[in-house]
Amino acid sequence: MLLLPPESTMAECEIPEFTGTTWGDSALYALILKRELRICKGRLDEVIHWRNTQINQQLLQGGAAVIPIRGHQLSGESPVQVLMAEFSFLIG
Q: Which residues of the chain have pLDDT under 70?
A: 1-2, 65-92
Q: What is the DSSP letter of 68?
A: E
pLDDT at 89: 46
pLDDT at 29: 97
Q: What is the pTM of this model?
A: 0.64
> Of 14, 20, 19, 18, which Cα lies nearest the Cα of 38?
14
DSSP element (H, E) containing 91:
strand 88-91
pLDDT at 24: 96
Residue 90 CA, chain-centre distance (Å), reads: 21
User: For residue 74, how many C-alpha atoms fall within 13 Å in the half-sphere facing its CB?
Assistant: 7
pLDDT at 54: 83
